[in-house]
Structure 1
Amino acid sequence: MNLHFFPSRRIALYMSRMFVVRSFAVLAALVLVLQTLDLLGESGKILAQPGNGDAQLWYYVSLRFPQLIARFLPFSVLLGTLITLATLNQHSEVISMKAAGISAHQIIAPLVVASIGIAIVTFVFQERVVTRATAALSSWAAVDYGRVPPESGVIENVWVKHGDDLVHARQVYGRGATTRLRDVTVYHREGGTLTGTISGVDARQAEGGWRLSPAKSFDVTTGTVRTAPSATVGQGITSDQFTLARVSADQQDFMTLKRSIEELKRAGRPTGPLEASLWHKLSGPVSAVLMPLLAGVAAFGLARSGQLFLRAIIGMALGFAYFVVDNFALAMGNFGAYPPLLAAWAPFLLFLLIGETVLIRTEE
């Protein structure tokens, strides 16, 4: 009996190379098709902005492309595994390895190790590229693909409740004392009834509140509109109420999101959904490791028996079932029905057991 982890160095390299090449080939095909369709849907909005042209279309592609890669890489690994194992089975290479005393676990082992490498690359890619691209694209879309202000750390569409009043800022820049608000509207209410509004282009922290300039007020009772160079609004509202009002997990890397969660906890805000997203930043890339196990059913069984296609369908169904359960668990975590750790890791552990069970039954 062969007790080594890998069947042999040559076979391991052969299978790993075949698996990686096919996975990234599937990824390239998927992303190119989806990017083309997505660009067709958004190009009208981008070109509708005066001054935008081909350069802005390519800029949009450069921001959207990383998002598509990160989203569909696990699907590509699943399909790449199925294609690799089905090809090996069809050419009787799996039968040759089994006849040489190589177990099912040893056949799958090179693919699992290669998928661990893909998971690491995926995590680094998401942390260094995807989060920044998502933040930049979100800021650009918030201004209808027009000119984005040069400030960094932009948060879009922030609502803050202060007493009965509601404060809406289309964009929030900076943190702490340097926080700035843009396109601000304050809705004054009494007993839930709107009594007036005051709006302005820019707002900065000032003594006693926020200095809004220029200020335009509207009184609902009299129907009059007044303008002023500036006005002080939001007395008692701190900058944290704006910067922490809308924390996007997709736009922050792991450590930044962890710090945001700690700040929210100190402010007494609920953090369950963000904690689930934090842990999913780890469990998401690691899902690539599951794909060889779930698709392993396609590797075994005689190809001439006519069941190879059925086995490939079963492997694909197991893989897509994982993605469905993973999205469901994450949604339940966002609603607070599941604890954050359970929402992020339970689907992975469940399908790890399912994949291992299928592989053991196949080996028997």
Structure 2
Amino acid sequence: MTSFFPSRTVALYMARLFLTRTFGILAGLVLVLQTLDLLSESGRILATAGNGDAEIWRYVSLRVPQIISTFLPFSVLLGTILTLITMNANSEIIALKAGGLSAHQVLAPLVTASLGVALLTFAFNDRIVSRATANLSAWQKVNYGPLPVDRGDRTNVWVRAGDDLIQADRIAGRGNAAQLGGVTVYERNADGGLRGLIAAPQGVRDGDGWRIWPAKRFDVASGAVTRMGATIVGRGVTPDQFTLSSVDGEALSFAGLREAIGDLSEAGRPTKALEGVLWHKLSGPLSSVLMPLLGAVAAFGIARSGALFVRAVIGMGLGFAYFVADKFALSMGNLGAYPPFLAAWAPFLLFLLIGEAVLLRTEE
């Protein structure tokens, strides 16, 4: 039975060409894009008193993983096309096909190598990018100033209680043991007009509401400030409305996001957008596996025919069309227009079929 792969030597040769070109292109993209990004952000970082070169390098260390994660699939696409163009121009593809290999067998080493890149991408996103995103987001919220000690608390949370709004500077704990700090209640009329403010440094769960103390109330109409001591606010507001009010799927690992979705689901909160992000944590890295298939049109055809450049452009067009469709579907999923699974996987499955159809139509 004929092996699906070329010889070991040829497979390793093609995989090495593919990986060196992919990561070489990625290094160039990261260098250029990080430089441009730093030009726009360095002024904001240095505008905060006490910041200097150390904070600049800290920003770079947090931003680079995000850039790598975003542009690694683009690098795989360009690396695929560059590898196949080079092999086509040197008549290596022709030699392989003359040896009896099909188009799928020629692409097999690149698909296998790209599967390794996909697994590496998933691990990198899960262990490094999610943490860098969470840290950078928290740092940007304090305008690149000193970060408070992270004990898992949540900060600057807003919830609605009827017509009123409740804002808490920080929340510690979960469930009925949740404790609020820096509480401000914005009392509003039915038409949205503000009629008063109640502020207190701390609050805890009490019955179906929240007991805050020592509270002071400012009356908008009279301008008078009244000391209220301990008072109950936010009746009907459950603890999960504070503790689960803001979940950033990109700043959580796959397991952490799945746990957060479970908590939200138990609390009866909508989770469709986060479910789409969860599925995309799997389908996103696997986009690397599609790139050899979508860029395969650059591998075949006679280089002397003058159509090699056109084939390369077609391969790039298919690859970039996939990225556009992927972002569009994910956005539709966030809006609730697409089911989560469809939003994450439909572009991948669609372009897998398109790539196979193009390859079968032109070469097989």
- For 1:304-319, list aligned pairs within 5 A: 304-319=304-319
- For 1:84-233, list aligned pairs within 5 A: 84-155=83-154, 157-176=156-175, 179-181=178-180, 184-192=183-191, 193-199=193-199, 202-207=201-206, 209-210=209-210, 217-225=217-225, 233=233
Aligned to 2:293: 293
Q: Secondary structure at the match of 2:196?
A: strand
Deviation (angstroms), 1:148: 1.1
Q: Please say which of residues 149-158 and 188-197 is displaced more in the overlay.
A: 149-158
Inter-partner Cα distance in structure 2 for 1:154 and 1:12? 51
- Please give the per-residue CA displacement for 1:112-151, whole angstroms capped at 9, x wherever unaligned: 0001001001001111111111111111111111111102
Distance 1:226 1:65, change over 3 A: farther
Inter-partner Cα distance in structure 2 for 1:181 and 1:144? 23
State TM-score, norm by structure 1: 0.93
Inter-partner Cα distance in structure 2 for 1:33 and 1:199? 48
Q: Secondary structure at the match of 1:268?
A: coil
- Please give the per-residue CA displacement for 1:39-88, whole angstroms capped at 9, x wherever unaligned: 11111111111111111111111111111111111111011101111111
State TM-score, norm by structure 2: 0.93
Inter-partner Cα distance in structure 1 for 2:324 and 2:170? 34
Distance 1:173 1:89, change over 3 A: farther
Inter-partner Cα distance in structure 1 for 2:153 and 2:31? 29
Q: Secondary structure at the match of 2:147?
A: coil
Q: Please say which of residues 87-96 and 312-321 is displaced more in the overlay.
A: 87-96
Distance 1:178 1:103, change over 3 A: same
Aligned to 1:354: 354
- Please give the per-residue CA displacement for 1:160-212, whole angstroms capped at 9, x wherever unaligned: 11121111335545534564555543211121321112345x54425465565
Q: Please say which of residues 104-113 and 178-187 is displaced more in the overlay.
A: 178-187
Q: Secondary structure at the match of 1:149?
A: coil
Q: Please say which of residues 74-83 and 188-197 is displaced more in the overlay.
A: 188-197
Name the count of aligned residue pairs.
362
Q: Is the contact made by 1:43 and 1:57 (CA closer than 8 Å) also made in structure 2? A: yes
Q: Secondary structure at the match of 1:144?
A: coil
- Please give the per-residue CA displacement for 1:286-310, whole angstroms capped at 9, x wherever unaligned: 1110000000000001111111111
Distance 1:363 1:58, change over 3 A: same
Q: Secondary structure at the match of 1:88?
A: helix
Inter-partner Cα distance in structure 1 for 2:171 and 2:63? 23
Inter-partner Cα distance in structure 2 for 1:324 and 1:42? 27
Q: Is the contact made by 1:151 and 1:174 (CA closer than 8 Å) also made in structure 2? A: no
Distance 1:171 1:295, change over 3 A: farther
RMSD (Å) for aligned C-alpha atoms: 2.2
Q: What stretches of structure 2 of length at least 5 have no aligned partner? A: none
Q: Is the contact made by 1:139 and 1:155 (CA closer than 8 Å) also made in structure 2? A: no
Q: Please say which of residues 170-179 and 71-80 is displaced more in the overlay.
A: 170-179
Deviation (angstroms), 1:224: 3.2
Q: Please say which of residues 49-58 and 202-211 is displaced more in the overlay.
A: 202-211
Q: What stretches of structure 1 of length at least 5 have no aligned partner? A: none
Q: Secondary structure at the match of 1:82?
A: helix
Q: Is 1:54 paired with 2:57?
A: no
Q: Is the contact made by 1:215 and 1:230 (CA closer than 8 Å) also made in structure 2? A: yes
Deviation (angstroms), 1:107: 0.9
Q: Is the contact made by 1:139 and 1:156 (CA closer than 8 Å) also made in structure 2? A: no
Q: Is the contact made by 1:213 and 1:230 (CA closer than 8 Å) also made in structure 2? A: yes
Amino acid of the residue matched to residue 77 of structure 1?
V
Inter-partner Cα distance in structure 2 for 1:170 and 1:76? 42
Amino acid of the residue matched to residue 324 of structure 1?
V
Q: Please say which of residues 170-179 and 328-337 is displaced more in the overlay.
A: 170-179
Q: Is the contact made by 1:85 and 1:299 (CA closer than 8 Å) also made in structure 2? A: yes
